[in-house]
Amino acid sequence: MDSVQAPGRRRTARSASQAQAVIASHRAEDAGQLFGITELCSEFGITLRTIRFYEDKGLLSPRRVNGARVYTRRDRARLALILRSKAIGATLEEIRHYLDLYGTHGEGRQQQLQWVRERTDVSIAELEARRAAIDATLAELRLINTEVRTQLARMEKPT
C-alpha cells in the first residue's frame, strides 16, 4: 500500500517544489512579482478559504504552475482592493464593477476613480444621515433618562 501512495506523494511534493522553484526564480529576476497563496494569506491575515472564495467569484484568477496557485503583483493588488472595499461595506458586485473598470492595462483608471468618487460621496452622505439620527436618538434617551432620575429622586426623598 505504501508503494502505491508513495509515487503520488512524491508527485505532489515534486509539483509543490517546482512551483516554489518557479516563484523563487521569478523573484530572483524581478523581486516580488509572484506570490504563493500562503504568502498572501499571511500578508493580509486571511485564510486560504477566503482567497478561494474570491477566486470562485471571479475576482481573482491566479496562474497555475503544476497545480499550485501562483499570484502576480496584479492579483495581489486586486486582493488588497477587494479586502479594503469589503472593509468599507462594498458588495461583491460593486467590487467586481470597480475591478472591471480598470481594464487589462489600466485604460479605465479615470472611470474607476470617478466611480469611486461617486460611491464614496453617497456612502459619506448615508453615514452622516445615520450619525445625525443616532445623535437625535441619544439626545432623546438622555432627556428621558434625566427625567426618570429626577422622578425617582423625588420618590425616594423621605416626607
Q: What is the CATH number of domain 1-90?
A: 1.10.1660.10
Q: pLDDT for 130-154, tens place per residue?
A: 999 999 999 999 999 999 999 999 9
User: How does DSSP classify residue 95?
Assistant: H
Q: pLDDT for 51-103, tens place per residue?
A: 999 999 999 999 988 888 899 999 999 999 999 999 988 999 999 999 999 88
Q: Which residue reads 460593486 in cell numbers?
A: 94
Please give the Cα distance from 24 to 60 (Å, whole number). 22
Long-range contacts from 115-120, C-beta under 8 angstroms, 24+ separation: 119/90, 119/94
Q: How many CA atoms lie within 13 A of 53 on its CB side?
A: 9
Answer whether 116's CB lies under 8 Å from 82's CB.
no
Domain chopping of the chain, boundaries: 1-90, 103-159
Whether this prediction's pTM lies above 0.85 is answered by no
Q: What are phi and psi of 16, to 5 degrees?
A: -65, -40
